[in-house]
Structure 1
Amino acid sequence: ALTLGSPLSGALLEMHGFMGHPGWFWMFVIEGLLAVGAGVFTFFWLDDTPGQARFLSKQEKTLLINQLASEEQQKVTSRLSDALRNGRVWQLAIIYLTIQVAVYGLIFFLPTQVAALLGTKVGFTASVVTAIPWVAALFGTWLIPRYSDKTGERRNVAALTLLAAGIGIGLSGLLSPVLAIVALCVAAIGFIAVQPVFWTMPTQLLSGTALAAGIGFVNLFGAVGGFIAPILRVKAETLFSSDAAGLLTLAAVAVIGSLIIFTLRVNRTVAQTDVAHH
């Protein structure tokens, strides 16, 4: 979505003056209509239950329905209080918060950052270059989790990937334009690829009543990062009167997250067992 969305948004911004409206007007209108169209399509296309799935055979539908019914009878009631008393839940929540701060702190400002590197305004050219890190992330998100699955190594892969993201974010504000784009590619690969690896760890570290509630809390706690990130970046830039300061602050947050991941005691054997079952 980010790979294709950036050039599309840039192209729509170039419609400035069409029918007397600014480019941002057309970007919001057209992309809003596309979102509405996707919602209508989804409503009619997606199935609610396995029994309605047109791509499943009758036997496959029966097997899935029976399996879901069996799991429903065996499910354990989850309580948020159990999750909040679990130190591992808080570790995972803080880690996910640092990931989201790094992600949104970069995503929200990436078009303007790239435009500044190119010495141009935010438009089609800048948006095409903005898509380059997401193309790199597309390949990284396939390779890194695949390596993690193959080796069964979760903790070190996640920690090093997030550490690379932090280094990439920090260097992107200190290097020449070409090298800064390379650093942004490293950052994008890091904070996108770390997430599927990260989400394998809650099921290894949590169990019983803390599992489902813990996963929900980790996700909720991390989502706050989308609110914190732009405030943190702007505050750092204002305090130190430097754009690089905001990026270095985001980098520090990512490094903190990677260090916390290193403290987790994830059983590598369990991860390899999970891979074998897949």
Structure 2
Amino acid sequence: MEERPEIIAKITRRLLPFVGIIYLIAYIDRQNVSYAKLQMVGDLGLTEFAYGLGASLFFIGYFIFEVPSNIILERVGARRWFARIMITWGIVTIALAYTQNATMFYILRFLLGACEAGFFPGVLYLLTIWFPFKYRGRMVGSFMFYSAIANAVGAPIGGAMLDLNGTLGLKGWQWVFLVTGLPAVIAGIVTLFYLDDRPENAKFLDASEKQWLRSTLEQEDRASGKTLHTNPFKALLDRRVLILAIWYVSLPLGAYGISYWLPTIVKSFGVSNTVNGLLNIIPWAIVALALWGTPKLAARTGQTTAFIAGPALFGALCLVLSVYLPGDWVKFGCISLAAAGIFAAQPVFWTLPSSFLTGASAAAGLAVINSVGNLGGFIAQNAVPLIKDWTGSVEAPMLFVAACVFVGGVMTFVVLAYLAKHRDEVTLAAGATRTAG
């Protein structure tokens, strides 16, 4: 099949900025609690552990509803389902501004996870039906680039909103939730009019362009012997999916362990809320560069293992150094580099499931991996404040996070060897079948 880079460029211009901006909004709404925490813990009388539990309940709701949400998306289409996801999570975020006690905080964080469930793996599935395999690593990296921008943008917004404390009779942490929740509702409404469900429905592609994309993707599926289960829920029992899900836990654990705790670490430097927010732009600018460059290098060299294990192990090392090296700014620099390594490993990782799954099985498989993996966020948000309470140090929890990321980095070699062995077995079996026929 001939290359048609102009079609890929057209799809990229139409799709990536839009889903990226939506992800930016989603990520801000997921992370805003890390800034609200700086005031709401005292206002609501929460302990660090109670806050961590409430914040982490997001991932329980996410875990329970992720797979059903992605299967529904595959059946009803991205346009309507993404709109539903965004509008409901925006409403819940706004409701968090009126939290009265710990119980209400727990319930709303759980609901936020339930509402947002299916968005991230839904976009990953969307990329499998719009882009040939060779482009997906770069597309996932470009998409995740917006998570770094979200942290960079969310940081000064969160700090500035906290400094509105008392304006119009509202606390600063209430402003954080109000200002970050409304854009999700607006974006959900816009999605209904802008997003196309599938390439065959796209008005911006002509008939020949749609035919080229369909033929290319079908040819890829045939050539790689991808799996399409008769029932998409069978993807939950696919050993390759389960292994990837367990392996993936380490990366969200590291990412959320850093992103949720970073504002608290910077606050220990003795800076104001606004300065805290501005300083937090720095690590996410570094993460953005890593997310932009790593998938491109991986695609150019054809290496997968090096661009997953390498960044992860580098991130683990930097976290350890952040604990033992002296000086606030040295610690801050190490954590910034650690965040870059942990995030940079993820775009290349997300090319793996679509290398052996297709159709509804890909939608379900991606959801399983993301939902199980994101339990790492639940672990991080409970373990990190608990270790802080035990040790009295804001840096010590980073050793736990570093250990988990290190294990994930080492697992890369084992998991990719297993996937390669399975792929070889499938190829041999297909060859034997053709010979017998």
TM-score in terms of structure 2 length:
0.54
Q: Does 1:113 pair with 2:265?
A: yes
Runs of 4+ that moved beyond 6 A: 65-71
1:167-213 CA-partner distances (Å, limit 9, x unpaired) = 22233333312212211221121111110111223345x5699x735
Q: Does 1:159 pair with 2:309?
A: yes
**Equivalent-residue separation in structure 1 for 2:414 and 2:395 (angstroms):** 29
Q: Does 1:144 pair with 2:294?
A: yes
* Structure 1 counterpart of 2:410, from 252, 256, 259: 259
1:50-99 CA-partner distances (Å, limit 9, x unpaired) = 3543422343345557888998xx9543565575362x444322220011
Cross-structure match for 2:187:
38
Cross-structure match for 1:273:
none
Q: 1:141 to 1:75 in 2, by over 3 A?
A: same
Q: Indicate conservation of the 8 Å contact 1:154/1:201, yes or no.
A: no
* Structure 1 counterpart of 2:334, from 148, 173, 183: 183
- Structure 1 window deviating more from structure 2 (246-255 vs 161-170): it is 161-170
Q: Indicate conservation of the 8 Å contact 1:91/1:260, yes or no.
A: no
Task: Report percent identity of matched pairs.
Answer: 33
**Equivalent-residue separation in structure 2 for 1:31 and 1:89 (angstroms):** 34
* Structure 1 counterpart of 2:208, from 56, 59, 63: 59
TM-score in terms of structure 1 length:
0.82
Q: CA deviation at 1:164?
A: 1.2
* Structure 2 counterpart of 1:192, from 327, 334, 343: 343
**Equivalent-residue separation in structure 1 for 2:384 and 2:413 (angstroms):** 25
Q: Does 1:95 pair with 2:247?
A: yes
**Equivalent-residue separation in structure 2 for 1:228 and 1:14 (angstroms):** 30
Cross-structure match for 1:235:
386
**Equivalent-residue separation in structure 1 for 2:218 and 2:346 (angstroms):** 30
Q: Indicate conservation of the 8 Å contact 2:357/2:365, yes or no.
A: no
Q: CA deviation at 1:249?
A: 0.3
Note the residue ranges of structure 2 that are not aligned, 5 or more in a row. 1-149, 222-226, 424-437
**Equivalent-residue separation in structure 1 for 2:242 and 2:199 (angstroms):** 35
CA RMSD of aligned residues (A): 3.0
1:12-36 CA-partner distances (Å, limit 9, x unpaired) = 2221121222111222112111221
